[in-house]
Amino acid sequence: MAGHDGTEGESAPASGAHGAQSAPPDPRNTPRVPIQIEEAAAAAAMALICLITFANVVVRYLTNASFAFTEEISVFLLVVLTLVGAAAAFARDLNIRVTFFAEMLPARPRRALELAGMALSALLFTLVGWYGWRFFLDDWNYGTTSPGLGIPQWMYSIWLVVLSAAIVARVAGRLWRVWRRG
């Protein structure tokens, strides 16, 4: 379980299913790059989304108008929030997966299944990054502008590439730690 400071550890001893204390975290299983990077980016994105939404509510209440153009910023920030959350989840081994059948397997096949799942996750986000790159190039080459603010669309699309690469790096780090744990 991850602690509040982004490290793999617990602030107080926890009890397992049978009341036994859990073992201290294995240093070979903790990420080298601090997860606080993703946490700070997620917190900033969430704070901006809240601020924009609050401003829209106040303006709509007082003037019966809204900042419609801010919707594209909110959607962009929501995508950023989702992708940095995914990177942090992979780093902490909290990514969404179905483990019902895997937990019934002996340790060796379960580990192989975990490695295969992470490799497929890395492949998926590599493809997302690749197609994001192509999307960025189209936005760049054609000078596409955003519908609400009229700014260059590539300023949004480049983040799909950057954050997909961050997810792939986190998956690769987790893959390495599981491989090394053996």
| Residue 27 pLDDT > 80 | no
Tens-place pLDDT, residues 158-179? 999 999 999 999 999 999 999 9
DSSP 22: P
21: confidence class by pLDDT, cuts 50, 70, 90: low
> For the chain, what is the mean pLDDT?
85
Q: Which of 113, 86, 111, 76 is nearest to 169 (CA)?
A: 86
Residue 127 neighbours by CB distance under 10 Å: 11
Taking CA 162 as the corner, what is the angle to CA 145 and CA 83, rounded to the nearest 5 degrees? 95
Report the distance separating Cα 119 and Cα 112, nearest Å.
10
| Residue 19 pLDDT > 80 | no
Do residues 48 and 77 touch, judged by C-beta distance below 8 A? yes
